[in-house]
């Protein structure tokens, strides 16, 4: 996901090498897809002029599941983040400083997250004192996107291991991870015969995850391993891209034919290929890697122009703030839409005015997010971003554990009481990850 500051694994004091604009462009485009996708999926529900609840687009429109094949771009983020981190992490490995590298990444996530959670806590207190109701409607919606930070921290902690796997096994390391993920689905579905294999997706969907929760790690390591292989030139070119896309199409067709759900997001509304990730989600990864290779020549020609390069640079600088804060824009957007009587509740897909209402809702979110991002960026620019990460193992372990606990609390319990507990833990993490003396 978007990061704040350096992501090449080198200290802030080391001059940055000339950046390859293509990975930055990929992440910028993916970020826009995430933001717009979240806003489109949120359907406000107004009764007698009062916002009372929100629906999810997938709950009301089955065809939206196919759209998730395009908007589920988390694998692309992991893929690109791994690729741009390879050189820096290898330097760290040679110097024996991989733990400090990870601490720097964790600190880069913890510091802005403290600000976000502090604002949520302030809003929660204000809502309690004023009897506000809108925060209750959006309670878990304002923290649900923090799951990605948990996943990213975990897979990046294993990036040095993935580098060694690539060095030793090459693309066989990717195949090995896919086989492990497949084994998890087979065990989950209790498949022991060819006929059972034919309906693997149905068996998986009807079974409790059990041991398949391991795929929360294994499946997300696949795009990371692919990103390392791409960086090291193990595959490239439009022919390879076309091959990956063909593989993805066949993979997804077979997955749907065996009974896997269509939707590639983690909601029970339209099936569940995310909690934990299933083999079906791997098909989306093939499509995305294929797209990266297929469109690379055209994208690089466009990026040679000055205007696109500037836009990408701006979006790159806004990455972490926009990801953290874009969901918060829904709160004032709903309040303004309610007060002005705007058609933010446009019914369901197929009804007259639905998509016009979606456009109006997105316009409100854009209007509300602009001043929020401007304020956050101004605040972040005033902070010292050249703070070195802790180098002592005890502080790194404590800070990392506190960060996991804080993010998990906010994710599980929403703004109240999750953001309160999360703020305490993430603030402690930020403090620990900056300590330059060993713990006593």
What is the phi-psi region of residue 151: left when phi exceeds 0, alpha when psi lies from -120 to 50, beta otherwise?
A: alpha
Give me the tens of pLDDT residue by residue for the chain, a chain 440 residues long.
Answer: 444 444 544 333 333 456 788 999 999 999 999 999 999 888 888 888 888 888 888 888 888 888 889 889 999 999 999 999 898 888 877 666 778 888 888 998 999 999 999 999 998 888 777 666 777 788 888 998 999 999 999 999 999 999 999 999 999 999 999 999 999 999 999 887 776 788 898 999 888 889 999 999 999 999 999 999 999 999 999 999 999 999 999 999 999 999 999 989 866 654 678 889 999 999 999 999 999 999 999 999 998 888 888 888 888 778 888 999 999 999 889 889 888 888 888 788 878 788 888 888 999 999 999 998 988 888 877 776 677 777 888 899 999 999 999 999 999 999 888 999 999 999 999 999 988 755 45
**Assigned domain for 269 exists:** yes
**Assigned domain for 25 exists:** no
What is the rounded distance in angstroms from the CA atom of residue 390 to the CA atom of residue 326? 30
pLDDT at 427: 96
> Number of folded domains in the chain?
1
What is the rounded distance in angstroms from the CA atom of residue 215 to the CA atom of residue 73? 18
In tens, the pLDDT along 318-360 reads: 888 899 999 999 988 988 988 888 888 878 887 878 888 888 8
**Assigned domain for 56 exists:** yes
**Assigned domain for 318 exists:** yes
User: Residue 214's domain spans which residues?
Assistant: 31-432
Structure tokens at 357: 């209402």
**Assigned domain for 1 exists:** no
**Assigned domain for 371 exists:** yes
**Assigned domain for 7 exists:** no
CA distances from 433 to 156, 319, 321, 402, 428 (A): 16, 22, 20, 10, 9
What is the rounded distance in angstroms from the CA atom of residue 399 to the CA atom of residue 397? 6
Which residues have a Cβ under 8 Å from the Cβ of 191 and sit 6 or more positions away?
Answer: 197, 200, 203
**Assigned domain for 60 exists:** yes
In tens, the pLDDT along 273-325 reads: 888 999 999 999 999 999 999 999 999 999 888 888 888 888 877 888 899 99
The model's pTM: 0.89
In 3D, which of 301, 305, 254, 298 has the Cα closest to residue 280?
A: 254
Angle between helices 74-95 and 279-294 (to 10 degrees): 80
Residues 440 and 113 sit within 8 Å (Cβ to Cβ)? no
427: three-class secondary structure by DSSP? helix
What is the rounded distance in angstroms from the CA atom of residue 169 to the CA atom of residue 42? 43
């Amino acid at each position: 996901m978007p990061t704040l500051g350096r992501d090449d694994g080198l200290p802030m004091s080391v001059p940055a090498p000339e950046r390859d604009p293509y990975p930055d462009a990929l992440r910028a485009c993916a970020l826009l897809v995430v933001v717009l996708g979240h806003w489109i999926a949120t359907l406000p529900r107004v009764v007698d002029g009062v916002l009372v609840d929100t629906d999810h687009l997938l709950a009301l429109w089955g065809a939206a599941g196919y759209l998730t094949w395009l908007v589920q771009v988390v694998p692309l983020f992991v893929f690109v983040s791994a690729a741009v981190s390879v050189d820096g992490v290898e330097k760290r490995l040679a110097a024996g400083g991989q733990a400090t590298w990870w601490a720097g990444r964790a600190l880069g996530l913890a510091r802005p997250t403290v600000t976000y959670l502090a604002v949520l806590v302030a809003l929660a207190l204000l809502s309690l004192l004023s009897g506000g109701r809108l925060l209750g409607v959006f309670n878990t919606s304002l923290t649900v996107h923090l799951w990605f930070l948990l996943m990213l921290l975990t897979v990046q902690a294993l990036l040095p291991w993935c580098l060694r796997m690539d060095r030793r096994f090459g693309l066989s390391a990717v195949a090995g991870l896919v086989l492990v993920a497949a084994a998890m689905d087979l065990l989950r579905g209790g498949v022991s015969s060819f006929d059972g294999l034919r309906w693997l997706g149905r068996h998986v969907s009807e079974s409790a995850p059990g041991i398949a929760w391991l795929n929360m790690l294994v499946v997300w390591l696949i795009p990371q391993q692919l990103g390392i292989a791409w960086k090291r030139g193990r595959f490239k070119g439009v022919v390879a891209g076309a091959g990956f896309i063909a593989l993805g199409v066949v993979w997804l067709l077979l997955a749907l034919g065996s009974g896997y759900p269509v939707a590639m997001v983690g909601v029970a509304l339209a099936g569940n290929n995310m909690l934990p990730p299933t083999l079906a989600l791997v098909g989306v990864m093939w499509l995305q890697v294929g797209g990266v290779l297929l469109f690379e020549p055209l994208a690089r020609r466009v990026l040679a122009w000055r205007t696109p390069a500037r836009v990408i640079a701006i979006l790159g600088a806004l990455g972490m703030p926009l990801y953290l804060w874009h969901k918060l824009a829904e709160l004032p957007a709903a309040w303004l839409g309610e007060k002005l009587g705007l058609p933010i509740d446009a019914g369901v897909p197929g009804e007259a005015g639905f998509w016009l209402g979606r456009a109006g809702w997105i316009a409100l979110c854009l209007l509300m997010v602009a001043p929020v991002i401007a304020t956050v960026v101004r605040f972040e620019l005033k902070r010292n971003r050249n703070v070195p990460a802790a180098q002592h193992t005890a502080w790194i372990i404590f800070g990392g554990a506190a960060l996991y606990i804080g993010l998990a609390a906010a994710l599980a319990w929403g703004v109240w009481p999750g953001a309160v507990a999360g703020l305490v833990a993430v603030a402690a993490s930020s403090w620990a990850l900056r300590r330059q003396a060993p713990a006593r």
